Structure 1
Amino acid sequence: MDNKGKKCPVCGAMIKGRSDKKFCSIKCKSIDQYENRQKTEAFYLKVDRQLKINRKLLKRYNKSGYTTVRTALLRSAGFNPKFFTHYWKTKKGDLYLFCYDYGFLQLEKDTKSKILIVQWQDYMGSV
């Protein structure tokens, strides 16, 4: 079985050998794996950075342990509510999203978007 007409995705050279071979050499295979790992690491670092920013902002604005802040204020400081580590649902059905030990609940009050910030409590259960 031959790789007639099949080219290496890294360097474009013709691939010789087994029909299921994907790269022309071990070097090209290694380059491909390294590039994919770099992309994965970049994504991980982006998510981790945003989680840390979110936690830092929630901690900064949570002066009393239970604080309401305008959503626009948090967002302008770099907060992104799409990034969170876990959630807690109350008996009433409210869903608090947490960035480690600080959580938030998105509220709509009088057509104004606000965020209620809380700190994780023992009664909320284990993560």
Structure 2
Amino acid sequence: MMRNCTYCNEKFEGRIGKKYCSSYCRSAFYYQQNREKEDTLFKKIDIQLKKNRKILKAYNKAGLVTVRKEKLIKEGFDPKYFTHYWKNKNGQVYLFCYEYGFLRIQDKQKEKYVLIQWQEYMNKY
């Protein structure tokens, strides 16, 4: 019975259920499928990092500001995605999305974030 190869679409003969005309096409098909899965995860992370950066930048016009956590989350901010961190002299750890950072604090029983922008002096710590 003639059928078309799933990968290259060439006609071939073979047993019932055979999907590929050669081992090369079978291997190439699965390689492509797995590569697309990896790209999907990479793209998801990259998109979230860029979204986080955009949100932090929009709320931090002055270089230092405090914002309610729920406000940022509502915009699509996800604190699990960050590019690096910085620890200040007091031991507080700021998480960064590129050059915009945030520190989770508790203020009057409300969770907030202190937003900052990366400064040259931070390279020393």
TM range (shorter): 0.7 to 0.9
Aligned partners of 1:118, 1:91: CA distance in 2, in Å? 15
Q: Which runs of 4+ in 1 moved over 2 A?
A: none
Aligned to 2:99: 101
Identity %: 49
- Superposed, which structure 2 residues align to 1:26-105 within 5 Å? 26-105=24-103
Task: Give the partner amino acid of 1:53.
Answer: K
Aligned partners of 1:102, 1:86: CA distance in 2, in Å? 10
Taking structure 1 as the reference length, the TM-score comes to 0.79
Instruction: Report how many aligned residue pairs link the two structures.
Output: 105
Aligned to 2:122: 124
Question: Which structure 2 residue ranges, 5 or more long, are not aligned?
Answer: 1-16
Task: Give the partner amino acid of 1:78.
Answer: G
Deviation of 1:63 (Å): 2.2
Aligned partners of 1:95, 1:74: CA distance in 2, in Å? 19
